Amino acid sequence: MNPVPAGALRAALYDWECEHVAGRRDQDVGFYAGLASSPGTRILELACGTGRVGVPLAERVPGSRVVGLDHDRHMLARAARRAAASPGAGRVALVQADMRAFAFARPFDVVAVAYNSLQLLTGAGDAAACLAAAGACLSPGGVLALEVTSYAPATGGTADHRSAVAGEPLGRGTVCGLSVELVGGFDHDPGLGLTHYHRRWTLQRPREPAFVLGDTVALRSFDEATLDGLAAGVGLEPGERQTRGRSLLYTARRPRRPATARR
Ligand SMILES: C[S@@+](CC[C@H](N)C(=O)[O-])C[C@H]1O[C@@H](n2cnc3c(N)ncnc32)[C@H](O)[C@@H]1O
């Protein structure tokens, strides 16, 4: 029997996969911290997960206030523990909400959607709804910052996930006292602009039978022009961009004055 609740286990597996399989630690935090350098900056991180980005952001930007928003209470519980153990504790607040529909009474200087989180919004109109809500809570001059990754195979075409899922493990380790082996693979549909990441986790507690969890994460592809269109639709202007490997670090800014007032 597995005494770790399934949701808590999935959140722990997320952190393990991030660190040991994807190699995501804090290398993207500097990008968001660079946009939020003034003391007292108010930062909202959408889809904050376990606080991998939001908690160190609060540490790196003196006097900042960070609000992390996520719809998953198990991810938020890990974020709360990470925040409590950090020097930024007391300046991080966590909110359970849907990133496609939220509002705050006070505006933010930076709204961040780190890693590939925007790409998890695969439904029609989901990303536009998210950016509309994000844009509405940006202060004049405030910045929307996000990262998207291309998962299309370098050679083009469609990868065969079945052979990949049956192939060499992506990683092995220990999570919540369970030995873990992860096998996974991607398939990409350029027509739909969707990538599916198929995972099979084999988990085992010492002297107990192994059990398997399988899931598929759908990720929508976004190119820069599409993001520009979505941002312009909510009144944001193009900002700085950086390319890092297959990832685009993207920003758009709320004008200091509304377009009509600048004529
Ligand atoms: C890939 S994780 C990223 C977590 C964190 N930003 C990071 O970079 O480590 C994606 C997160 O998005 C959250 N998420 C997905 N859809 C969401 C939605 N509609 N509203 C709020 N959070 C959502 C998930 O619960 C998960 O914590």
Report pLDDT digits (tens) over 91-125: 999 999 999 999 999 999 999 999 999 999 999 99
Tell me, using a 6 A CB cutoff, whether residue 120 lines ligand 1.
Answer: yes
Report pLDDT digits (tens) over 195-242: 999 999 999 999 999 999 999 999 999 999 999 999 999 999 999 999
Number of other residues whose CB lies within 10 A of the CB of residue 188: 22
Q: Do the Cβ atoms of 28 and 145 come closer than 8 Å?
A: no
Q: Which CATH class is domain 6-150+222-262?
A: alpha beta
- Work out which ligand 1 atom sits closest to the CA atom of 100: 19
Q: Do the Cβ atoms of 111 and 142 come closer than 8 Å?
A: yes
Which residues are CB-contacts of 81 (< 8 A; sequence separation ≥ 6)? none
Cα 46 to ligand 1 centroid, rounded to whole Å? 7
> What's the confidence (pLDDT) of residue 156?
52
- Chain Cα centroid distance, residue 8: 18
Cα 168 to ligand 1 centroid, rounded to whole Å? 27
- pLDDT of 163 over the 50 cut: no
Average pLDDT, the chain: 92
94 vs 98: CA distance, rounded Å: 13
- pTM of this prediction? 0.94
> What's the confidence (pLDDT) of residue 152?
80
Cα 209 to ligand 1 centroid, rounded to whole Å? 31
130 vs 69: CA distance, rounded Å: 12
pLDDT interval class at 4 (50, 70, 90): confident
22 vs 219: CA distance, rounded Å: 15
pLDDT interval class at 155 (50, 70, 90): low
Considering the segment(s) 161-219 as one domain, its CATH architecture is: Single Sheet (2.20)
pLDDT over 90 for what percent of the chain? Answer: 85
Tokens found for residue 25:
């630690």
Tell me, using a 6 A CB cutoff, whether residue 220 lines ligand 1.
Answer: no
pLDDT over 70 for what percent of the chain? Answer: 92
Residue with tokens 């523990």: 81
Rounded mean pLDDT, 144-164: 71
Pocket test for ligand 1, best of 53, 71, 76, 247 (most atoms within 8 A of CB): 71
Tokens found for residue 111:
């709204």
Pocket test for ligand 1, best of 120, 215, 249 (most atoms within 8 A of CB): 120
- pLDDT of 259 over the 80 cut: no
Pocket test for ligand 1, best of 72, 73, 195, 197 (most atoms within 8 A of CB): 72
> What's the confidence (pLDDT) of residue 257?
77
Cα 80 to ligand 1 centroid, rounded to whole Å? 15
Question: Distances from the Cα of 100 to the Cαs of 77, 113, 144, in angstroms?
Answer: 21, 12, 15
> What's the confidence (pLDDT) of residue 178?
96
List the chain domain ranges: 6-150+222-262, 161-219
Nearest CA to ligand 1 atom 10: 117
Report pLDDT digits (tens) over 231-245: 999 999 999 999 999
Nearest CA to ligand 1 atom 1: 117
Tokens found for residue 231:
């941002």
Question: Distances from the Cα of 148 to the Cαs of 48, 80, 151, 156, 194, in angstroms?
Answer: 15, 25, 10, 18, 13
Nearest to 144 by CA among 30, 27, 36, 29: 36
255 vs 237: CA distance, rounded Å: 7
> What's the confidence (pLDDT) of residue 44?
98
